[in-house]
Chains A and B, each alone.
Chain A
Amino acid sequence: MSAVEAGRKGRRRDLADVGLRSWAILVYVFLFLPILVIVVYSFNNGRAMITWNGVGLNGYRTGLTDPTIQDAVKTSIVAAVGTAVMATILGSFAGIALARRKGKWTILFLALVFLILVTPEIVEAIALLLWYVRLGGPFGPHTPIPGISYGMVRLWVGHSLFATAVVTLIVRARLQGLDETLEEAAADLYATPARRFRQITLPLMLPAVLAGALLAFSFSLDDTIISSFVSVAGASPWPVYVFSAVRNALRPEVASVSTLLLTLTLIAIASVALVLRRSGQSSKDVAKTMTVGG
């Protein structure tokens, strides 16, 4: 290769580098533009969110004191915690079973999980609403579980379907990637099944369980469609409040509360990432575990 040719190749490589990097910057701008807009408009002092009327903290003041908004955020958090607990327990056991006790039911169960993931959420929401109305019991106003609003039970069950499917897949993927001989070795060393689970399987699958719980929590916080169909007055979560605001009147406090929630979410993600990092994963692995569970 002559020097000229090498130089030309090098320059072409630089050009490709610059092109790819500019593209990446554009993608980041695109991804963060609407988020930035929400953060900026949370400081809008006007009455309507979209019409800019000077910088101020009116939105935050109203957002933090309005009892309807407080109830909505509280409902969201209770729904998300319940969903995360239910989905993590159901999904972890299902994931272990799929990875370690393969049988003729495995394929069928995976097919069902796949169906849940591909069914449009709007269809699931409508189907669940009609089903709840038909079932009654703890899902209806007449015979609720004492102390728990039937609206909350509806949210927990509705959100936990998709979340359980996701946790199942994440835990299964993690266990399949791990060497089963570790568990066999523990058994050979006379560990009881309970001890084997506690000392070998559980620590190994913990990152996946943690990631699954986080995803289940954020899925529940994020969910608008199922919530807006199955929730009832008095137990309607934050996205349902925003949804009705979009249709009636958007005020700056919607942006303010969203900004606060975003900050909380980021802190939660960062702490989970830190925990995973402490357990010895590289930053890339952490990001991967938290997004795709691999």
Chain B
Amino acid sequence: MALPAWVWFLCFFTLPVLWIVYYSFGYKPDIYHPIATDKLSLGSYHEAFSRAFVHVFSQTLQISIIGTSLCLLIAFPFAYWLATRVSPRWRGVLLGLVVVPFFVNFLIRTVGWLILLSPAGPVSSLLQRWGLRSEPLHLLQTRGAVQLGVVYNYLALMILPLFVTLDRLDPAMREASKDLGANRVKTFRQITLPLAAPGIVAGLLLVFIPLTGDYITALVLGGAKGNMAGVVVASQFTIAQDWALGAAQAVILIAMIMGTVAVFGLFAIAIRAIVRVSRRITLPPVAEEAV
């Protein structure tokens, strides 16, 4: 029964992506042709590791690591509040409210920030009217604007898995911990946090992966200073017409995402091993995380 989906994925995902990998070994013969594959070489990868591109890739990695951490810091207290302090009657409605902005077009949400941050926009004019600033604000086309935009655009992907795990957590566990004399900090560190770990891991992955490959936020809110790898890869196809270089950069981008996820996975396994050894009690396994 999975056969149609198999065929679908192989024809329109696996083969096109392999085709890109094949192109990445090609070269650009002259200004009139975007690609030639009669001689295969690693030339494009050589070019892709030149200084300008390495800078964009490292900037992308910085933006996505900072952005993912900010999402976690913003989302955790929020999800904790929603799961533990809100009455079950209201929980569904308030969770629905989190999802509403998520159903607004990604691009339109980003345009909302474009208006907010623009020199003629509301923030800038209010600050000027109140006499807090004498000239218009110049927030667009900066790395800060891109950083803000990506945190906003991917925040819901962090809130949802965190909420699901925290919501499944039996309040009796926390009460038992307090009855046994643990203070709030200790209860949080030894009960809540370990049990929420699957949700945290899911949230980090759900945010980090699309954030690193982001194209729209960086294109709309960032200029040269807020450039990200996705924009550079696309420009090889839309502007420069150097498909071999663009393909090589695309392959590097995928490798970068998977590499970071792998490093993070090893790190998480190591932490878990350390915690297991240092903790005397074993907690019952939590149900499999969502998504």
Which A residues form the contact surface with B (CB < 8 A)?
A: 12, 16-17, 20-21, 23-24, 27-28, 30-35, 37-38, 41, 49-52, 89-91, 93-94, 96-98, 101, 105, 109, 112-113, 115-124, 126-131, 134, 157-158, 160-161, 164-165, 168-169, 173, 218, 221-222, 224-225, 229, 238-239, 242-243, 246, 250, 254-255, 258, 261-262, 265-266, 269, 273, 282-288, 290-294
Contacts and interface: CB of A to CB of B under 8 A. Distances in A.
Contact-size category for B: 35 or more
Contacts, number: 256
A290 B99 contact: yes
Tell me the interface secondary structure of chain B in the complex: helix
A131 B125 CA distance: 48
B129 interface: no
B8 A90 contact: yes
Interface stretch (B47-55, B250-258, B269-277): B250-258
A131 B12 contact: yes
A120 B291 contact: no
A157 B250 CA distance: 21
A225 B101 contact: no
B95 to A, nearest CB: 4
Given A90-B4, A224-B106, A123 B115 contact: no
Interface stretch (B72-80, B169-177, B189-197, B278-286): B72-80
B47 to A, nearest CB: 17
B150 to A, nearest CB: 13
B218 to A, nearest CB: 10
10 contacts: A31-B101, A38-B108, A93-B2, A94-B2, A120-B250, A127-B19, A165-B9, A250-B114, A283-B91, A286-B92
A186 B4 CA distance: 27
B210 A131 contact: no
A291 B160 contact: yes
Contacts of A285: 92
Interface in B84-118: 85, 88-89, 91-93, 95-101, 103-116, 118
Nearest to B106: A222
B5 A123 contact: no
B16 interface: yes
A292 B105 contact: no
A258 B105 contact: yes
Contact of B111 (A98, A169, A222, A250): A250
Nearest to B14: A112
B238 to A, nearest CB: 8
Contact of A242 (B5, B8, B108): B108
